[in-house]
Amino acid sequence: MSLSPRKSLPLPVTGGRPELRGDVPPSSGWRWAWLMQAPHRLAFALAMLVLVAAGLWWGLVQWDRFTGHLGLRYAVSPTLTHAAVMSLGFVPLFFAGFLFTAGPKWLAVEAPTARQLLPALLLQLGGWWLWLAGAHLHALMAVAGLALAGLGLLLMYARFWRLLLRSPAPDRLHAKVVAFAGAVGVLSLAGLLLAMPAGRLDLGMALVRGGLWGFVVVTYVAVAHRMIPFFTSSAVPMIEVWRPFWVLWALLAMVAMEWLSVWAEWAGWPSGREWMLVRGLLELAAGSVILWLAFAWGLVQSLRIRLLAMLHLGFVWLGLSFVLAGLSQLLGLRTGMPLLGLGALHAMTMGFLGSLLLAMVTRVSCGHSGRLLVADTLVWALFWVLQLAVVLRIVAVLLPEPTAVTALSALLWVLVCTLWGARLLGWYGRPRVDGRPG
C-alpha cells in the first residue's frame, strides 16, 4: 500500500463551505466534519462517547460501594441503570457502524451517508447520557432519556429494514437475522420505557436481559458466523471458509433457549430442581458444541495472528459462558439456587461481547483509516487486561465479600475502554493516513 501523496484535486463546494477531501495530510487536526465522511466514523465515535461515559459512571459506582467516599444517591436502581446502558446503550451504536458499512455490501445496495444517520445516532447518544444523569437526578429524566434512545434505535433499524427490503442479493439470511434482532431490541426498549413509570424493576430487568439475548447476542452470533470463518481463511490460507447454515441455526437455537429462560425465570415457571437439572445439562451441551466450533473455525491456527486471535478467543468466551451457566445450575441443585449466575453472565457480556467488540471495531477502524490490519502492542495489551477483568468478575461471585474484586474488575474495564476509546476517537476525527477518501 503506497503512502505517497496523491495529486491534489479541487475542493467541491457546498453551501459556500469547502468539503473535506480524502487527500488531506494525516497531520490535519481533529475535526467534527471528518466524522461525516463515513457511517462507521460517526457511529463508532458516538458509541465510544457512550461506552466511556458508561464505564466511568460504573467505575464511580463500584468505587463508592467499596469506599463509601462519594455518597452517591440514586433515583433509579443502579443495577438496572448499569444493565440497560451496558446491554442496549453503546452496543447498538457500534452495530450502526457495521450495518451501514458492511451491510450495504452484503445486500448490494447503496449505503446511506453519515449525515442521513446523524439524527438516529444523536438521539441514542443524548438519550443514554440523559439516562445516566437521570439515574441520580430524577427518574423522569431517565425515562425521557430512554424514550430518546428508543426513538433513535427505531429510526436506525427502520433504515436498515429499508435497505434489506430493497436488496436484490440472493443471500440475505444474515441480514434478515440482524434486522429481526433489531426489532427485538426496539421492543425491549419500548417495554422498559413502559415498565419504568410503573416501578416494575423485575420486569425492567427481564426486558433488558431479554434484549441482551434476543437482540445483542443474536446480532453477534449472526455476524460471527459470517465473518470469523471469512477473516480466518483470508489470514490463514490453509483454512477454508466453513459456515454451513445449520451451524447458524444451531447457535441461534442456543441463544433462543437463554432468551426463553429469562422469561421463564421472570414468570416463575418452570422452576424447581428438575428444571435446574434440565437447563444445566442443556447449557453444558450448548457450551460444548460452541467450544468445538471454536476449534473447527481455526482457534489454534489463529493464535499466531494477534487480531485474529482476539476474534477467536472472544468467541471461546461464548462457549465458556454456557458451560459456566450449566455448572451454575448443577452446582446449585443442593440449595435450589444457581451458584455462578452473574459469573456466567459476565463471561458472556465482558468476555464474548467485549472481546469481539474490541477485535472487530479495531479491525474495521484500522482498515478504513488506511492502517495495517494488525493489533499493535497497545491493543494487544488492552485485550489481555480485558481478559483479566473478566476472570476477576467471575471469581468475585465465589467470594463471601466480592466488593473489592468487583470494583477492581470495573476499574480495569474503565481503563481498557478509556484508552481504546481515546485512541480511536482520534482516528475518526482525522483523515485516513493513506490519503484515500472515506
127-165 per-position pLDDT tens digit: 999 999 999 999 999 999 999 999 999 999 999 999 999
Cross-strand pairs, 161: none
What was the pLDDT predicted at 268?
A: 87
Instruction: Name the residue among 433, 428, 432 with its Cα closest to residue 97.
Output: 428
In the beta sheet, which residues pair with residue 13?
A: 18
Please give the grid coordinates belonging to residue 57: 459512571
Alpha-helix residue ranges (DSSP H) falling in 297-336: 299-302, 306-331
CA 403 to chain centre: 25
Residue 125: the pLDDT is 98
Q: Given a cut of 50, is residue 180 above it in pLDDT? A: yes
pLDDT one-digit tens code per residue, 183-214: 999 999 999 999 999 889 999 999 999 999 99
Decide if 133 contacts 60 (C-beta within 8 A).
Answer: no
Which domains are present in the chain? 40-428 (1.20.210.10)
Predicted confidence (pLDDT) per residue in 326-355, tens digit: 999 999 998 888 888 799 999 999 999 999
Residue-level pLDDT at 418: 96
pLDDT score recorded for residue 69: 79
Mean pLDDT of 7-29: 40
On the question of pLDDT at 17 being above 50, the answer is no
11 pLDDT more than 60: no
Q: Highest mean pLDDT range out of 6-10, 42-46, 231-235?
A: 42-46
| Average pLDDT rounded to a whole number, residues 375-392 | 96
What is the spatial distance between Cα 371 and Cα 373, in angstroms, rounded to a whole number? Answer: 6
Q: What is the mean pLDDT of residues 248-262?
A: 95
Q: How confident is the model at residue 98 (pLDDT cuts 50, 70, 90)?
A: very high
C-alpha cell of residue 386: 480485558
pLDDT of residue 28: 65
State the angle between helix axes of 377-396 and 403-428 in degrees (0 to 180), rounded to the nearest 10. Answer: 150
What pTM value is reported for the model? 0.90
Percent above pLDDT 70 for the chain: 93
Phi-psi region of 407 (alpha: psi -120 to 50; beta: other; left: phi over 0): alpha
Residue 409 has a pLDDT of 95
**Which residue has better confidence, 286 or 231?**
286
Query: What's the pLDDT at 117?
Result: 97
Find out whether 343 and 266 touch, Cβ atoms under 8 Å: no
Task: Check pLDDT > 50 for residue 435.
Answer: yes
Count of C-beta atoms within a 10 Å radius of residue 354: 23
For residues 287 and 269, which has the higher predicted lDDT (pLDDT)?
Answer: 287
Integer Cα distance of 367 and 40 in angstroms: 11
Question: Which of 432, 394, 291, 302 is CA-nearest to residue 1?
Answer: 432
Tens digits of residue pLDDT in 22-67: 334 445 688 889 999 999 999 999 999 999 999 999 999 998 988 8
